[in-house]
A = this chain, B = another copy of it.
């Protein structure tokens, strides 16, 4: 198996990307191709001891910046690490692509260069989120901000396969993210989605409210990409602000500081529990290739876990199982 990595993507590229890739190569049975500005990537690689035969570097002279317009970047930068990396997947020797770069650009390039799975109109980004009851899978968290109902139906069908094949959840309970439990709640779109999912999914448990996301009430949460993106970013911001607040308050009080030191180990376990980087990247579902999108601020560990998650998708033949099930 060979996984392609966008060496130039993310706020800490190429340093964090190369570091995480090397960790993955050492820890997992996987070959990698780092795509990016060759000099820079090789300079980073020079810092590590690793099995050279398993790491390939491919030069891509252009870099898509984090805030560049997605569609424009795909059209104008054919030689970016994203475009070159994704195009490699057309060759069966390359099995998956991982990027912590511009999300919109990865979505657009994947759609244009790989095309869609039969029966799927638009790609969606899924995300494994930690809950009190292990984890849930949320889709879409940002690829499709103004979806049609059939897009969300397709996401729910793909998510069901993903949960079963990759995450080991048989017959996952699916919920629709909405602002009330009753089917009469929400926008016209929410009501239509509730009706469609009720008709088409045997394991649809109805609307779930946003305060239930982390409760583990359902295995799969369906929402449009705008709402999904807001939901995960609110969580991210709140965890950061709460962490900063706790630090600020505890530092004011020597006794509390002592208490915090005693709890340190356990607090780190808790932090780890809530840490998205533990769960690897977010799979881009619906395109005809295995693409994993990592957080722009990915640490080496997050990159390693994204590679691990991509590898799991390849091992489970996700694409062919998914294609078979969606078109049924």
Contact = CB atoms under 8 A, between A and B. Distances in A.
Interface of A: 67, 69, 131-132, 142, 145-146, 177, 179-182, 184, 186-188, 209-215, 225-227, 229-242, 244-246, 248-250, 252-253, 255-256, 258-263, 265-267, 269-270, 273-274
B227 A230 contact: yes
Contact of A259 (B146, B235, B242, B261): B261
Given A146-B188, A227-B227, A241-B131, A262 B266 contact: no
A274 B238 CA distance: 10
Q: Lowest 4 A-B CB distances belong to which pairs?
A: A259-B262, A211-B237, A210-B233, A259-B263
A274 B188 CA distance: 33
- A-side binding surface: helix, strand, loop or mixed? helix
A120 B239 CA distance: 36
A144 to B, nearest CB: 11
Given A210-B234, A211-B233, A213-B237, 13 more contacts: A132-B245, A179-B229, A211-B236, A214-B237, A214-B241, A230-B231, A231-B234, A242-B242, A242-B270, A255-B262, A255-B266, A256-B266, A263-B263
Contacts of A252: 266
8 contacts: A132-B241, A132-B244, A145-B186, A214-B242, A230-B234, A245-B270, A246-B270, A256-B263
B262 A184 contact: no
A238 B234 CA distance: 9
A277 to B, nearest CB: 15
Contact of A235 (B182, B238, B244, B269): B238
Contacts of A211: 233-234, 236-237, 240
A258 B255 CA distance: 12
Contact of A256 (B142, B212, B262): B262
A263 B142 CA distance: 39
A74 to B, nearest CB: 15
A186 to B, nearest CB: 6
Given A211-B237, A259-B261, A146 B187 contact: yes
Nearest to A227: B230
A67 B181 contact: yes
